[in-house]
Amino acid sequence: MAVWSKSFWRPVIKKGGKIPVFNMFINGEWVGSASSETFDVLNPHDQSVIAKVQKAGVYDARKALDAAYKARGSVKNLRAVKRAEILEKAADLLEKYKRDFVDTIVAESGKPICVTEGEVNAAKERLYYASEECKDLYGEEITGDLSPHKFDKFAMVIRQPLGVVLAISPFNYPLHIAVCKIAPAIAAGNSVICKPSSQDPICMIMFARILEAAGLPKGVFNLITGTGSDIGDVMINSEKVNMISFTGSTAVGQHIAKICGMKKLHLELGGKAPAIVLSDCDLDLAVKEVLKGALTFSGQRCDAISRVLVEEKIADKFVKKIMKEIKKWKVGNPKDRKTLVGPLINEKAVQKVELLVNDALEKGAKLLHGGKRKGLYFMPTVLDYVTTKMRIAWEETFGPVVTIIRVRNYEEAIRIANESEYGLDACIFTKDIDKALDAGLRLEDGTVSINASPSHGLGLFPFGGDKASGIGREGIRHSLMEMTKVHTIIFKKNYEP
């Protein structure tokens, strides 16, 4: 791609060859893998090879661990105002090279350009917020007056960085989700190792260049590329890592939790967000929000609306409006600004959606729209009369499917929603404030949205999963708290009051 020929990106790419080969960033240096092995990054739109990326092995992983561990003291001692300056400069550089990031993410992930621009903007804004968070690490003072045994003491409670944060990010928001882990980690004074998805790692390699140019000290940020099977367990098991922040599948998250040892964990895992549509709702609003929640980025989001629990008395009207509105969701080349639905990330993803849709049809669901694939594109699909006996009612779809389950009433909707093993996001559409609040309290999900589809965005509102959807919370201020530890210093008074 022409964007990579700019002088700013020169250190990132190895010289020679028609297909660019991207390096890793370890201990402040741009390096290849010790084995010299690479892997291809494909464009999901036409499945062409757009670049090659280093395939790290155990030696490379340990090198990154050593670098981050050694640098943890330098970043801890870096004044907060300096960390803030670096993060702010990184945000400015991201804005400067925004077009390069947009073009790269569109090419490597297949994400429509209209969605990608929002992702890059959000990553930039998250850096600005993190620069302010550097100045917001306050502790507290506690007196011993309330205890007859501690009256002659007082404590100073401060927050300290954890040390080394391992950030493992997914393919669906390859820049933004990673930045939402990295920025608060650095703001809190931690060093970081980032392992991006192998499906679309290039934007994060570019982001490492941004942090380098912003003046981050050597070893504070390290970017390693490769497969989880090759290097994941080595880093997860390492005693040099103090916290793991992972966004991805529940199966991988459970594996991490089993083998990580005594480390702090943040796991944002799978989701099966229900949208409860009640008979008293603003139907036009519900239809638009449901389609946005189900189809944005082809449904490849953990917060995607994955099942629609609609009251029977309005189900026919709801479906009729869905069928009219879904025609506006244009499928096509992600470079086209009119495209709203692009390809899925790879063949495995398409096959999974096909499997779930076909299982539903075999068990009696009615196909109203879509249901077919072309290459890695899966057409926006509407399934009606889905029942709880079908796999698609329970399994994470990660595809552009509107799954409609007709329910008798509000109580049945709440029951079915809560029977899922997942608990990340949920939403309800109603004009009844009592039912809205009741659902907000009773739905067993980390976040419940009222009259809106779920959206994590910048993290202004904290988010995270319950049940099989994860551990911990992310968000502005909340991520910073997760990535620090409470440190208490107790003083004994040497005088009588």
Which residues are known to be catalytic? 268, 302
How distant is the alpha carbon of residue 350 from its chain centre? Answer: 20
**In 334-488, alpha helices (H):** 347-362, 410-418, 433-442, 478-482
Q: What CA–CA distances, in Å, run from 281 to 227, 254, 386, 432, 433?
A: 46, 38, 21, 8, 11
Whether the CB-CB separation of 250 and 468 falls below 8 Å is answered with: yes
How distant is the alpha carbon of residue 494 from its chain centre? Answer: 52
Dump the DSSP string for 208-250.
Answer: HHHHHHHTPPTTSEEE--S-HHHHHHHHHH-TT--EEEEES-H
Q: What CA–CA distances, in Å, run from 345 to 243, 351, 361, 377, 470?
A: 28, 11, 24, 9, 23
Sign, CA torsion 30/56/257/350: positive
User: 2: which 2 tokens?
Assistant: 């022409």
Secondary structure (3-state) at 18? coil
C-alpha dihedral, 233 to 235 to 236 to 237, nearest 10°: 80
Half-sphere exposure of 395 (CA within 13 A, CB side): 15
Q: Give the other-Cβ count within 10 Å of 433's Cβ.
A: 9
Whether the CB-CB separation of 186 and 192 falls below 8 Å is answered with: yes
Q: What is the largest CA-CA distance in the chain?
A: 82
Tell me whether strands 305-311 and 191-195 are parallel, antiparallel or unpaired. unpaired
**CA 134 to CA 183: how far, in whole Å?**
10
Whether the CB-CB separation of 196 and 222 falls below 8 Å is answered with: no
Rounded CA Rg of the chain: 24
